[in-house]
């Protein structure tokens, strides 16, 4: 039996009744059946691979761990300022290096600025490859190649940033208004002059916002790179966890949280100034 439903006319604000065919109704029910079945299957797989005895004991274990973290060992903070500064440098230098590599990739990947479709495909492959690998995995690979230290962390942040900045920037380039480009081109300007006077002025606000936003993200990501030996405050965090020094872990968490708050404030102010 067909089911009625309300449809709003695009040309008016009046709603009118139309009939849903039997085929449409069966397709809707089939979609619900597939969705519910998929949910139940996923829940069964998760349930079969979960040790529920540990889940039931989790509140007690969490409360016990929290009690060990309080009070924080405030005196340990004097040893964290240098690693924290290293973390900020990893994020900042990695972001700058990533932006330098992402900027030309974005122009080569955008349909309206790329010199050739094959070059666009290569630039898109670089952007996708960068985005498909997490910064922590990049850090693991680079620590294996370069050894532990800040250089591996900086390069890991840079390689991850290429995909993020490049994708958002080339999308912004493709969305520019064509009128200034046509006007500059009509004067007989060269390709580089068109880029300088018609394209760049339109994308620079977006570029500034994207870059600052990525730096803000990299501050967060760089705090954990030390877990795999890529430098920064993550080294101290890993050492404190391995030695079960939970009062030191808590002070590290507090300093990371404070750093993220400050970076969020700075990035918001800078974005407001540029955009």
Using the 8-state DSSP alphabet, how is residue 116 labeled? -
pLDDT at res. 228: 84
**Which residues face 229 on adjacent strands?**
none
CA dist., res. 178 & res. 206, Å (int):
17
pLDDT higher than 80, residue 38: yes
The pLDDT score that the predictor gives to residue 208 is 85
> How far is the C-alpha of 33 from the C-alpha of 65, rounded, in Å?
43
| Interatomic CA distance for residues 219 and 191, integer angstroms | 37
Contact 152, 142 (CB under 8 A): yes
**Res 273: pLDDT:** 74
Per-residue pLDDT of 103-113, as tens digits, reads 999 989 888 88
Grade residue 11 by pLDDT with cuts at 50, 70 and 90: low
DSSP letter for 110, please: S
Task: Report helix, strand or coil for 230.
Answer: coil
Of 20-24, 79-83, 168-172, 252-256, the range with the lowest mean pLDDT is: 20-24
pLDDT in tens, 179-205: 888 888 888 878 888 888 888 888 888
* Residues 6 or more apart in contact with residue 101 via CB below 8 angstroms: 158, 162
CA distances (Å), origin 210, targets 97, 110, 114, 167? 14, 16, 21, 10
pLDDT in tens, 118-159: 999 999 999 998 888 888 888 888 888 888 888 888 999 999
């Amino acid at each position: 039996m067909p089911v009625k439903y309300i449809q709003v006319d695009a040309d008016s604000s009046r709603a009118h009744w139309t009939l849903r065919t039997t085929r449409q109704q069966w397709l809707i029910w089939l979609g619900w059946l597939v969705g519910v079945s998929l949910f139940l299957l996923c829940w069964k797989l998760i349930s079969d691979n979960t040790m529920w005895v540990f889940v039931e004991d989790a509140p007690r274990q969490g409360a016990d761990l929290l009690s060990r973290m309080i009070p924080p060992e405030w005196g340990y903070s004097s040893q964290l300022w240098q690693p924290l500064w290293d973390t900020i440098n990893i994020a900042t230098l990695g972001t700058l290096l990533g932006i330098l590599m992402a900027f030309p990739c974005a122009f080569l990947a955008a349909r309206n600025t790329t010199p050739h479709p094959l070059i666009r495909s290569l630039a898109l492959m670089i952007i996708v490859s960068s985005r498909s690998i997490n910064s922590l995995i990049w850090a693991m690979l680079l620590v294996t190649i370069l050894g532990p230290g800040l250089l591996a962390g900086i390069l890991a942040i840079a390689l991850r940033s290429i995909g993020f900045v490049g994708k958002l920037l080339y999308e912004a380039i493709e969305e520019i208004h064509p009128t200034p480009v046509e006007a500059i081109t009509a004067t007989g300007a060269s390709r580089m002059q068109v880029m300088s006077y018609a394209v760049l002025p339109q994308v620079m606000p977006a570029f500034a916002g994207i870059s600052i936003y990525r730096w803000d993200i990299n501050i967060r990501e760089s705090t954990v790179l030390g877990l795999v030996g890529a430098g920064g405050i993550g080294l101290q965090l890993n050492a404190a966890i391995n030695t079960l020094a939970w009062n030191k872990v808590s002070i590290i968490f507090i300093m990371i949280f404070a750093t993220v708050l400050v970076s969020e404030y700075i990035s918001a102010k800078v974005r407001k100034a540029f955009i």
